[in-house]
Amino acid sequence: MKMTDHILDYLDELLRELLTWHKNRHVSVLVLINQVLFTGFEALGPVLVSSFLLGGLVAYTGRTFLTDLGQNQLIYNLIIMAVVRDVGPLVVGIIILLRSGTAITTELGSMRINREIDALETMGISSMSYLVVPRVIGMVFAILILSAYFTAMGLSGAYITFFWLAKIPFTDFFMRLTNALTAADLYIPLIKAVFTGLLIGTLCSFHGLSVGRAPTEIPQRAIKAVTQCVLALLFLHGIIALISFSWEAA
């Protein structure tokens, strides 16, 4: 069987399991909770630091550049585009991929080598519903949570930078920011977060389960998972941004 067939079979089974996961007694709630905690809570530090720095950097460079052009009012649109809508969701996805995505591939690969997955299937427990589905769903929930924290901290970094540069009151900053917000700025990051979680969880789990019997396959599969996920994330975010801009321009 070709590699493409394996991927298509895997996606077909995963989709069916996701649609009926709440009815499946083999879905491990404990695995789901642990995935949310590992991805969402333990990755909070690097996400908050990167979001604060991004918000501050965009505010500083944007204000300096746009002031020279006499377009100060556009700085809030720039902050929203960078922190909330486009750059922010992509940064969260890459951080989670490098930290939690590789962990999923490595963990499932180790279980495959140690024949733990074979033991589960011998007992009649589906590895897809017991191991993969909770990790994919947990990844989606965790990225949604982290995206909200990223946005809040990024906007905080932007405001602190504004206050440091021009002593702008918070109420002034908040009102101008909300006036620049549109409905698309709220639902597009949610769409990106959901699809990012599905993509990372799906590809990393697939490569983990694809490990054979040699321990050397684990790092090879982890590298493949990261490479494919990065390319897929860039493509996904680019397509969503292109579609959203086309709708708004219409």
Average pLDDT over residues 42-54: 89
Res. 92 pLDDT band, cuts 50 70 90? very high
- The dihedrals phi and psi of 184, each to the nearest 5 degrees, come to -65, -30
- Please give the model's pTM, rounded to 2 decimal places: 0.87
Task: Give the domain ranges of the chain.
Answer: 24-243
pLDDT of residue 104: 92
pLDDT of residue 70: 65
Contact present, 58 and 151 (Cβ < 8 Å): no
Residue 211 has a CB neighbour count (10 Å cut-off) of: 23
Is residue 2's pLDDT more than 70?
Answer: no
Q: Which of 32, 5, 30 is nearest to 18 (CA)?
A: 32
Q: Which of 8, 225, 212 is nearest to 102 (CA)?
A: 225
**Cα separation, 167 vs 152, whole angstroms:** 20
pLDDT tens for 175-233 read 988 998 888 888 999 999 999 999 999 999 999 998 887 888 999 999 999 999 999 99
Res. 1 pLDDT band, cuts 50 70 90? very low
pLDDT tens for 16-47 read 888 877 666 556 677 778 878 877 777 888 89
Which residue stretches of 20-43 are H helix?
Answer: 29-36
